[in-house]
C-alpha cells in the first residue's frame, strides 16, 4: 500500500472534470437550504433588504457546492455521476472502500445569484503516505474545487481533505 | 435568528468577545433534510443500516456541506445581513447524530482592516455535543467599518477574503 500508483501521481496538480452546473441557481433550493438550518437572514427572504444590500437576491455563500451536485437521477444519464469525482477515483484507484471528509475550507468570491450557471473543475493537490486512524488504515488527500460564474467571475474555492480507508477486520 | 435591522460594525467587536451560544436538538429529519438540501445522496446520511454496517458508526450523521450551512447561519445571526463571509475552514472531529444536542460557541480572535479598507473579524468557533467537540471552525467575516459601509459592494481586487 505504501507505493502510490503512477496514475494517481499524474493526477496531482491536474485540472480535471471541468463542467457546467446541471441546472441554474434557483431560489427554491435556496429556501430548502435555509430551512434545513433555520437561517432567517433577510438577504434570502426579504427582497427590499436584498436589493438594498446585495443588489438583488443572492444565494447563501456556503451553498457553493450545491450548484454542481447533480440530481440523484436524470432521464438521459448513463452511469452514476459523483459530485466530487476525484475523491471517488482515489477510493477506487487506491482500493480504499470507505472514506470520510475531515477538513473543509471554503473561500468565497463574487456572490452567486439566482439564474447563474456555475462552471467548476477539480484539482488533486496531495495524497499522504499510508496512515492508521481509529477508522482503519488509509490515506489522506486534498482536493480543490474552483468555481466561476457564466461571466468568468471567480465565485469561490472549496478545499476538501478526505481520508479513504479500509476498516480493520 | 438574524435581525434585519442588525448592523454589527467593526467598532462593535473586539478580540475575546464571545458570540451568543446556539443550541440545536438534532433529529433524523435534521440530518436527512440537511443532506437533501445540499444534494448529498450518499446513504450514510439517510440510511441507518448503511451508516452502521459500512461506516461503523451508530447512526446516520450530519454531512459536511450542511454543517457549513449551520456555521454560516450561526455567524450571520450575530453579524446581521451586512456581515459577509470571506473564508471558512473547519475540521470534522466527530460525527453528530440524531438525539444529539449540538451547541455552537464562538469568539472573536482578532479584528483588522485590510489595505483596501475592508474590516475583518477572525472568529474561532466550535460545535460540541455534551463534552465532545465535534467540529472546530475558523471563519473570516467582513463587517462594515461604519454604519454606511457595506462589504457586499466590494468586488474584484477590493474583495480579499
pLDDT in tens, B100-114: 999 999 999 999 999
pLDDT confidence of residue B26: 98
Pinpoint the alpha helices (H) of B55-151.
64-79
Separation between Cα atoms, residue B85 and residue B81, nearest integer Å: 10
How far is the CA of A121 from the CAs of A44, A70, B145, B157, in angstroms?
27, 14, 35, 23
Complex ipTM: 0.94
CB-based contact, A102 to chain B, within 8 Å: yes
State the CATH architecture for B10-26+64-158. Answer: Roll (3.10)
The answer to whether A106 contacts B87, with C-beta atoms less than 8 Å apart, is yes
Q: Give the list of residues 6+ apart from residue A155 with CB closer than 8 angstroms, or none.
A: A64, A108, A109, A110, A111, A112, A116, A118, A147, A148, A149
Record the cell numbers describing residue B88, joined without a space.
471558512
The predicted structure's pLDDT at residue A71: 85
Count, residues in chain B:
161
With CA atoms as reference, report the closest residue to B153 among B122, B113, B116, B112.
B116
Report the pLDDT value the prediction gives residue B5, as an integer from 0 to 100.
54
| pLDDT number for residue B78 | 96
pLDDT for res A69: 84
The pLDDT assigned to A154 comes to: 96
Helix (H) or strand (E) holding B51: helix B48-54
Q: Is B55 on the interface with A (CB under 8 A)?
A: yes
Backbone angles phi and psi of B28, in degrees to 5: -60, -35
Q: What is the pLDDT of residues A58-97, one digit of tens each?
A: 999 999 989 988 888 888 887 666 668 999 999 999 999 9
B2-59 per-position pLDDT tens digit? 455 567 999 999 999 999 999 999 999 999 999 999 999 999 999 999 999 998 999 9
Listed by number, the residues of chain B in 68-107 with a beta carbon closer than 8 Å to a beta carbon of chain A are 68-73, 76-77, 81-82, 85-92
Domains and CATH numbers, chain A: 6-167 (3.10.129.10)
Please report the residues numbered 112 through 151 in chain B whose beta carbons come closer than 8 angstroms to any beta carbon of chain A. Answer: 150
Check: CB of residue B63 under 8 Å from CB of residue B45. Answer: yes
Amino acid at each position: 500500500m505504501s507505493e502510490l500508483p503512477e496514475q494517481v501521481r499524474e493526477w496531482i496538480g491536474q485540472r480535471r472534470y471541468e463542467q457546467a452546473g446541471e441546472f441554474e441557481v434557483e431560489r427554491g433550493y435556496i429556501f430548502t437550504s435555509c430551512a434545513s438550518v433555520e437561517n432567517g437572514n433577510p438577504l434570502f427572504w426579504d427582497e427590499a433588504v436584498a436589493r438594498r444590500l446585495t443588489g438583488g437576491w443572492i444565494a447563501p455563500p456556503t451553498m457553493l457546492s450545491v450548484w454542481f451536485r447533480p440530481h440523484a437521477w436524470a432521464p438521459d444519464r448513463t452511469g452514476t455521476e459523483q459530485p466530487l469525482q476525484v475523491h471517488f477515483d482515489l477510493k477506487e484507484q487506491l482500493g480504499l472502500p470507505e472514506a470520510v471528509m475531515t477538513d473543509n475550507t471554503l473561500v468565497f468570491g463574487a456572490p452567486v445569484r439566482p439564474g447563474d450557471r456555475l462552471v467548476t473543475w477539480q484539482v488533486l493537490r496531495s495524497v499522504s503516505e499510508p496512515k492508521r486512524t481509529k477508522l482503519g488504515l488509509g490515506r489522506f488527500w486534498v482536493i480543490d474545487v474552483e468555481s466561476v460564474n457564466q461571466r468568468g467571475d471567480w465565485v469561490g474555492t472549496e478545499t476538501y481533505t478526505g481520508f479513504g480507508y479500509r476498516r480493520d477486520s | 435568528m438574524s435581525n434585519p435591522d442588525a448592523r454589527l460594525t467593526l467598532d462593535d467587536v473586539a478580540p475575546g468577545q464571545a458570540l451568543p451560544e446556539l443550541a440545536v436538538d438534532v433529529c433524523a429529519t435534521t440530518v436527512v433534510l440537511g443532506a437533501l438540501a445540499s444534494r448529498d445522496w450518499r446513504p450514510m446520511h439517510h440510511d441507518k443500516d448503511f451508516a452502521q454496517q459500512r461506516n461503523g458508526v451508530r447512526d446516520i450523521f450530519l454531512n459536511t456541506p450542511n454543517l457549513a450551512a449551520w456555521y454560516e447561519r450561526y455567524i450571520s445571526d450575530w453579524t446581521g445581513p451586512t456581515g459577509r463571509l470571506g473564508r471558512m475552514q473547519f475540521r470534522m472531529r466527530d460525527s453528530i447524530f440524531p438525539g444529539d444536542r449540538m451547541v455552537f460557541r464562538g469568539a472573536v480572535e482578532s479584528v483588522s482592516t485590510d489595505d483596501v479598507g475592508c474590516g475583518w473579524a477572525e472568529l474561532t468557533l466550535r460545535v460540541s455535543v455534551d463534552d465532545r467537540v465535534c467540529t472546530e471552525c475558523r471563519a473570516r467575516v467582513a463587517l462594515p467599518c461604519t454604519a454606511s459601509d457595506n462589504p457586499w459592494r466590494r468586488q474584484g481586487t477590493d474583495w480579499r477574503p
